Structure 1
Amino acid sequence: MEEDPMASIHAFRLAPALLALLAAAGSAHAAEAGSFFEALQRYQDDDVKGCADTLGAMYHKGERFPDGGELLLVECTAAAGDHAAAMAYVVALLGQDRLPLDDLLHKDRPGLNALRAEPAWPQMLARAEAMQKQRAAQMDEPLRKELLDREARDQAAQHAAIAAGGGEAFKSTLPVAKANAEWLKTVIAEKGWPTRSKVGRDGAKAAWLLVQHADQDPGFQAQVLPLIEHAAKADEADRADVALLTDRVLVAQGKPQRYGSQFVQGDDGAMQLRPTEDMPGLDARRSAMGLPSLAEYKAILAESYGKPVN
């Protein structure tokens, strides 16, 4: 059982979801994950100005956000009353493909709702849609759609297994995982790894997820790992994706994991951390990859799965 890669950073709902987004986030520097986490906590505490100030400082220093995290910058800035700055962020970030457009348009949040009521919104919306069409024209849209469809089937199977109590129930996900992996092998052989430039951020994340859940084929996971490592160096994939797949590969090889993302459910139902190298340095390694601390993640697991985590 690994960190939930599909928890959405732009959910802005419960603390576990906000923490889990860090588990799926890429970050360039160790301090960034902590700074972003502080902003999330402030947002949850209704300190929208503190959230906006923290994220604004990160943005202007050129620090990387977790994938999709820039939407929280827009939300907090708008909720704090600075609609002009929020709109400027929207224009800049959309041009860099760093905002999830669907959430920007439809997510029901105080700041975003206020921003949509601005007179300048229709003009900005038209500009955003034009940018999206231009990017889509440069992408492999059929491949992106297939990746997202397969991701949806994967997640439906995973969620059903979790609802059934996890453990042995995860065996029911094998047919979907196997079919996805076999299909993705042909894609990689014909077109190479699906990068953000090829299939968008959501498509690239979906491709990684299909590999991450291909536990029935550890050789395939090991084969893909250097491809994702190379993509992450070019900002074509998340660093956290590298961390989570690295742990998956190491565990399959009978070695201690590096980033502490893999847990196993014991006979008593409690979740136990699998053997991990250099425990004193674990949180530093996690932070460097944009992951929350181990203690924070254990709290996420306990609340998300309703099981004790040791």
Structure 2
Amino acid sequence: MNPTAILTALTLATSPVSGGAETPPPEAAAPVIAKLKGVASRASVIEAIAGMGEVDRAMRTSMLEATRDLALEIRAKVQAQAGVVIDEQDRAHTERLKSIIAAHGWPKISETSERTAATAVLIANHSGDIDFQRKVLSLLEPLAKAREARPEDYARLYDRVATIDRRPQRYGTQGTTCKEGKYAVPSDLEAPEGLEARRAAMGLQPMAEYLAVLDKMYGVCVPHPH
């Protein structure tokens, strides 16, 4: 849907109903009003998480766009220096998200929005605090099963924690190998033969599509030394 169509749809959704339509009975309106008031009561949480997410994405996108076409040996050095700046911002986001969780609990989809819940996991995924990541992972597991968090976000954080803990990743969302300049299936997989089924169950795209995205996003990969 193009931006004009989206704006039109939103305008219609907030315009008074005319033409003699019956006014919904109070019992039909009550849950709608309650839902809207619930979202409004969490406006500060939604806005805070959305803002952090925009900064997170902007910094990483800016780095990738600025370094993608550099020579491989130069790119690695520049990205390492840029990573110091990004890490500092990630630490600030981690502390802010901790405060939000302590005051309001984890942002469930039904209480905020799918985008808000996903962005909160993104911030946790980029945190350098492994204890915090483990805590968020334990919060997410039942929420993902209840569809109060996206299963694919749980999968990405599961793999991130597993990789840090030097355990095989389950969904292949984090580490990859590099073959002839292109990203390839990770070598540290739990039961590789079941990878595609596990990814599909969590709403993740097929591995081949994921690797193609990495190639486009990051450019030529550099094999990690063993």
What TM-score does the superposition give when structure 2 sets the normalisation length? 0.74
Please give the alpha-carbon distance, in whole angstroms, between the structure 1 residues aligned to 2:152 and 2:207: 14
How many residues end up aligned between the 2 structures? 197
Please give the alpha-carbon distance, in whole angstroms, between the structure 2 residues aligned to 1:123 and 1:270: 47
1:102-127 C-alpha deviation (Å, 9 max, x unpaired): xxxx625xxx48x959xxx9654527
Alignment gaps of 5+ in structure 1? 1-74, 76-105
1:114-173 C-alpha deviation (Å, 9 max, x unpaired): x959xxx96545279x99986442120011101111111111111122223475243431
1:168-221 C-alpha deviation (Å, 9 max, x unpaired): 24343101111011111122222211112332222212211110111x111111
Q: Does 1:247 align with 2:133?
A: no
Please give the alpha-carbon distance, in whole angstroms, between the structure 2 residues aligned to 1:296 and 1:271: 11
Q: Does 1:201 align with 2:114?
A: yes
- Compared with structure 1, are the counterparts of its residues 263 and 171 closer, same or farther at alpha carbon in structure 2 (3 Å cutoff)? farther
Partner of 2:168: 256
Please give the alpha-carbon distance, in whole angstroms, between the structure 1 residues aligned to 2:16 and 2:136: 37
Structure whose CA Rg is larger:
2
1:123-202 correspondence runs (5 A): 123-126=12-15, 135-139=35-39, 140-163=42-65, 164-165=67-68, 167=76, 168=80, 169-202=82-115
1:9-47 C-alpha deviation (Å, 9 max, x unpaired): xxxxxxxxxxxxxxxxxxxxxxxxxxxxxxxxxxxxxxx
Q: Is the 8 A contact 1:302 1:309 kept in 2?
A: no
> More relative contact order in 1 or in 2 (CA 8 Å, sep 6+)?
1
Q: Is the 8 A contact 1:158 1:170 kept in 2?
A: no
Please give the alpha-carbon distance, in whole angstroms, between the structure 2 residues aligned to 1:174 and 1:227: 24
Q: Is the 8 A contact 1:301 1:309 kept in 2?
A: no
Q: Is the 8 A contact 1:157 1:172 kept in 2?
A: no
Alignment gaps of 5+ in structure 2? 18-28, 69-74
Please give the alpha-carbon distance, in whole angstroms, between the structure 2 residues aligned to 1:274 and 1:223: 27
Aligned-pair CA distance for 1:276: 1.3
Please give the alpha-carbon distance, in whole angstroms, between the structure 1 residues aligned to 2:94 and 2:11: 42
Secondary structure in 2 aligned to 1:249? helix
Q: Does 1:219 align with 2:131?
A: yes
Q: Is the 8 A contact 2:163 2:175 kept in 1?
A: no
2:190 maps to a residue whose letter is E
2:3 maps to a residue whose letter is K
2:47 maps to a residue whose letter is K
Secondary structure in 2 aligned to 1:197? coil
Partner of 1:107: 3
% identity of equivalent residues: 32
Please give the alpha-carbon distance, in whole angstroms, between the structure 2 residues aligned to 1:309 and 1:288: 31
Two-structure CA RMSD over aligned residues (Å): 3.3
1:200 maps to a residue whose letter is S
Please give the alpha-carbon distance, in whole angstroms, between the structure 2 residues aligned to 1:222 and 1:236: 18
What TM-score does the superposition give when structure 1 sets the normalisation length? 0.55
Q: Does 1:282 align with 2:195?
A: yes
